[in-house]
Every structure is written in structure tokens, then in C-alpha cells.
Structure 1
Amino acid sequence: MARGARVPSVQQAFVLHHYDWSESSLILDLFTREQGRLAVVAKGAKRPYSQLRAVLLPFQRILVGLSKPGKTTEEGAPEVLTLRTAEWAGGNTLPAGAALFSGYYLNELLLKLLARQDPHPALFDAYAATLPELHDSEDAQSQAALRAFELRLLSELGLLPDLSLATPTQQPLDAQRRYALSPESGVIAASDDSALLSGSSLVRLQAALLHGSPAALRQACQDDLPALKTVLRGLFLYHLGHRPLRTRQVMLDLQNLLN
């Protein structure tokens, strides 16, 4: 949020993660629409009769009132804010099955890639629009929703090149040619067809990103789901410093156990 901008007294938020702070309180990692990721203490939230217990749940849109920012620490970081009020804002029920793992996967991406107090309202809206599209089974609709959110996240963070142009030459893509998406070199032509995307697919994805509609982006992702999954996985692995996501590893371990 720009310096001097007015912070609303009540704002939309999702709980990405929480940590025990004391016997009765929690530290929340909130994703808010107006202020981005925030560290917030919820005093008394663990008490048996606290009204916050039923509100501070993951994947539920809530309305929160927060204390004003206090002094900064010696390192220059802002102090943890205090949760004053929280209420459910309505919406979908908690996901289950594969949708639950997918939701935690999205949360882990946000936790590891978003800086604190860096607002991304369009990304907040994309996250809210993605959650209802996640199903108990890993169907094509759920996979398209995940790929669409991954693309939006990379784009919002400036980690995605213009998908309609070959990066080295800035020339339009050949619709029939296959291209690789490199974290260092951008969109590059390649002769190997494995896990690559066609020029026409990349142009459609870029058009959907510019359009801004989550539904349009999900539709554009439907054409090349397996290749797109592999390409985006490589990008995230690079930008996460080649550290595997815990949620993905838990999903793989569970699949191996069930097979």
C-alpha cells in the first residue's frame, strides 16, 4: 500500500497459517486485500469459549479489524499487529479431500513468495475465485484452476515474461512451433517437444492474463494441462531456491501410500 494511504478499519482477509503464541493466543499469517500479508496476534483465540475459534479458519473469507501499526523493530520491520475483530464474510464451506491439499498448496506458495505488507488486490481476488474451483478429486477443472492461479501469482510478482513474444528477439511466436519457458531466459524456441507449449497456447495464456478474468485464464489453461503443470513446476522450483514445497511432498507421500 502506498505510503500515506488510508487503511480501512475493516478489511477482507484469509488465514494462510497460524502459530501458537501462548497458552491462549495465536499468531496469524493473514492475506489481506488492502495490505497484503500481515503478521497478526489473535489474543485469547485458543480459549474454549472464544468466538474467534470458529472464525479464524483457513480458506474462509473473513472481515478483520486490526490495530494501527506501531513502532518498528530495531531491524526496521513493523511490529506484529493485534486482531481487534473478526467475522465470517460468507462464502464456501471448508474444502475436503484433494481440494484441501490444493488449498494448502496455494497457501504455501503465498507464504513463501509474497513479501509482508506488499498489497496485491488482483491476486487476492484470484485466490478467492480459485478456492471454489477446487474439487475433492483432481479433475481437469481443479487442475486448470491451480495452473491459472500459478500464472497469476508469477505475473503479479513480475516473474513471468510476456508469453506472446520470444524473449531473446521480442518477436511474435510461431503458432505451430514449440517453446520452453525458462526462469532465466524467458520464452525460448526449442526442438524437443517434451513438456513444451505451442506458440498458440502461450499466446492464448497471455491474452487471458491481460483480460484479467479468472474464468478466461482457467479456460486457456485447459488446452495443455500436463505440459503447463511441468513448466510451471520448474519455474516455482527455481524461484523457491530449489526447496520442495511441503504440501506437494505430503500429497506425493499420500498417493504412494494409497497406491
Structure 2
Amino acid sequence: MATRAPKPPATQAAFVLHHYDWSETSLVLDLFSREQGRLAVVAKGAKRPYSQLRSVLLPFLRLQVTLSKPSKMNEDGAAEVQSLRGAEWVGGQTLPSGAALFSGYYVNELLLKFLPRQDSQPELFDAYATLLPLLQSGEDAQGALRAFELRLLATCGLLPDLSVLATTQAPIDPERLYMITPESGVTVPTHDAPQLTGQALIQLQAALMHGSLPALRQACESAGPALKPLLRALLHYHLGHRPLRTRQVLLDVQKLLT
């Protein structure tokens, strides 16, 4: 017999990842909540001119939301769609601009494509909440992005142990260069591809295991520019035939500017 999902809290912290029209006056929201993970929520009347929800149901704002009881349950006993009863901006991070806006939408798209619905991931939620103000301030934004990509891959079970060789499970040599293949893991380089030192990989794995976001950002910064294409290759492999739209938009904008 299927086990019913735990009863959701009366209010919970959440971010809007995406929304689209449901009717002339309402929206369907894709929320990322700390307690329940990614949720599909109907915001009835949110498009009306005098709705109090219009000014807060925006990406990148940390909200405290109140949801109704689900009107429908799937075969596993989990709620499929809920209605939004209330939402309040709790302050802090405001809407980013410029390059930070593109980066924010890129991260949102990663969450939409990689996370299943109603799978609570509080550590990833906290990593996302920490990332947004860093993108806005520009303070170590690239290191913060790489750290989030690593945390996302690890959370989804798509990141191998970075401290051992895939073929033998023997510890890697800190002084040697290695590559990461999506199919297996850390290997000795066999062709021209992004490579990292064993020391960098060991530091990344240690930071992931420790769970410290500042330590992970520092390890990403120390790894150098080779980490970005390496992680992008892993992400694109696991995305399969689902290309990232925000990434392509950014490339198109860069072409226009140059």
C-alpha cells in the first residue's frame, strides 16, 4: 500500500522558479520550497490589477507562502497541485540585474530540469538562497555558481567521488592531472579535455562531504578556470536532449554585443 506524503506545514519558505498563465486572472507557479522541494501551485487571481500577489510572485524573492490542501493526489499518495492562499516577501534579496539576472535564470532552469517534484532538498534550498545575493553583489560570483552546480549534481546523485579513480577506486595522486567522464568518473586523461589536479579534486570532494558552502566556494575558486567547462560537460550530458534556453540566450546576447 502506498505511503502518504507527510502533511505540509501551514507556511513555508519558497522561491518562484517560473510561472505561466493559467487563465485571464490566474497563474501556475513552479515553486522551490525548503520543506517540500519543487511544487506546482495555482495562484488564483494573481493577475488581477489590485491583487496583493502581483508584486511578490517574482523570481529570486524569498517568500513565506501559505498553501491550501491539495485537491488531487497521485498514485503514490503525494499532492500534485496546490493552491496559493498567501505569499509574503520576507525581505533581503531583491531582483538582480545585468549578468546576475542571466545567471539567476540559468540556475532556475537547472533546478526545473534536474529536480523532481515534491522531493525535499533543504541543503540545496539553502545553497540557492545563499547564491542569489552573491550573484547580485558580484562577490566571487563564478565560484558561487560552480559550487552550486557541484551541489546540484551531488544532490541528484550524478556526481562521482572526486577523490578516487573510477577504474580501481584507488585514491588519486594530488600531483597528477585528471579528467571526469560522465559515464564513469575520475580518470587519467586520454584525450584533450578539461583537466584538474588531483589536489583540486580532493579539496572539492572534502568540501562537499563537509557541507560547508564557503569551503566549497573556496575550493572552486582554487580549482581555476578548468572547472567551468568540466562541470558544463557533466550538466549537458545529464540534460540529454533538453538544452538550456538561458545559456543560449546569454550566448546570443554576447554575440550581439561583440
Classify the TM-score, shorter chain.
over 0.9
In 2, the alpha carbon distance for the partners of 1:229 and 1:17 equals 25
TM-score when normalising by structure 2: 0.94
> Bigger shift: 59-68 or 234-243?
234-243
What is the CA distance between 1:71 and its match in structure 2? 2.7
In 2, the alpha carbon distance for the partners of 1:254 and 1:218 equals 27
Q: How many residues align?
A: 256
Indicate if the aligned counterparts of 1:167 and 1:188 stay in contact, CA closer than 8 A: yes
Superposed, which structure 2 residues align to 1:24-103 within 5 Å? 24-72=25-73, 78-103=79-104
Indicate if the aligned counterparts of 2:5 and 2:78 stay in contact, CA closer than 8 A: no
What is the CA distance between 1:194 and its match in structure 2? 4.3
In the other structure, the counterpart of 1:106 is: 107
What is the CA distance between 1:4 and its match in structure 2? 4.9
In 1, the alpha carbon distance for the partners of 2:184 and 2:80 equals 39
What is the CA distance between 1:191 and its match in structure 2? 5.1
Moved over 6 A (4+): 74-77
> What value does the CA root-mean-square deviation take over the aligned residues?
1.9
1:179 and 2:178 matched: yes
Deviation per CA, 1:157-179, whole angstroms, max 9, x where unpaired?
11001111112111111001111
Any stretches of 5+ residues in structure 1 without a counterpart? none
What is the CA distance between 1:224 and its match in structure 2? 2.7
TM-score when normalising by structure 1: 0.93
In 2, the alpha carbon distance for the partners of 1:77 and 1:7 equals 11
In 2, the alpha carbon distance for the partners of 1:136 and 1:235 equals 27
Deviation per CA, 1:180-201, whole angstroms, max 9, x where unpaired?
1111111111155641011000
Residues 135 and 62 (structure 1 numbering): CA distance in 2 closer, same or farther, change over 3 Å? closer
Indicate if the aligned counterparts of 1:29 and 1:38 stay in contact, CA closer than 8 A: yes
In the other structure, the counterpart of 1:131 is: 132
In 2, the alpha carbon distance for the partners of 1:118 and 1:219 equals 28
What is the CA distance between 1:72 and its match in structure 2? 2.8
What is the CA distance between 1:136 and its match in structure 2? 6.9
What is the CA distance between 1:5 and its match in structure 2? 2.7
What is the CA distance between 1:130 and its match in structure 2? 0.6
1:105 partner amino acid:
Y
In 1, the alpha carbon distance for the partners of 2:242 and 2:71 equals 34
In 2, the alpha carbon distance for the partners of 1:240 and 1:4 equals 28
Indicate if the aligned counterparts of 1:179 and 1:189 stay in contact, CA closer than 8 A: yes
In 2, the alpha carbon distance for the partners of 1:3 and 1:155 equals 27
1:169 partner amino acid:
T
In 1, the alpha carbon distance for the partners of 2:250 and 2:77 equals 38
Q: Percent identical across equivalent pairs?
A: 66
In 2, the alpha carbon distance for the partners of 1:245 and 1:34 equals 27
Indicate if the aligned counterparts of 2:36 and 2:120 stay in contact, CA closer than 8 A: yes
In 1, the alpha carbon distance for the partners of 2:142 and 2:148 equals 10
What is the CA distance between 1:125 and its match in structure 2? 0.3
Indicate if the aligned counterparts of 2:179 and 2:193 stay in contact, CA closer than 8 A: no
In the other structure, the counterpart of 1:20 is: 21
In the other structure, the counterpart of 2:214 is: 215
1:26 partner amino acid:
L
In 2, the alpha carbon distance for the partners of 1:243 and 1:55 equals 30
Any stretches of 5+ residues in structure 2 without a counterpart? none
Residues 177 and 3 (structure 1 numbering): CA distance in 2 closer, same or farther, change over 3 Å? farther
Indicate if the aligned counterparts of 1:144 and 1:222 stay in contact, CA closer than 8 A: yes
In 2, the alpha carbon distance for the partners of 1:241 and 1:186 equals 18
In 2, the alpha carbon distance for the partners of 1:225 and 1:93 equals 30
| Secondary structure of the corresponding residue to residue 166 of structure 1 | coil
Indicate if the aligned counterparts of 1:96 and 1:136 stay in contact, CA closer than 8 A: no
1:119 partner amino acid:
S
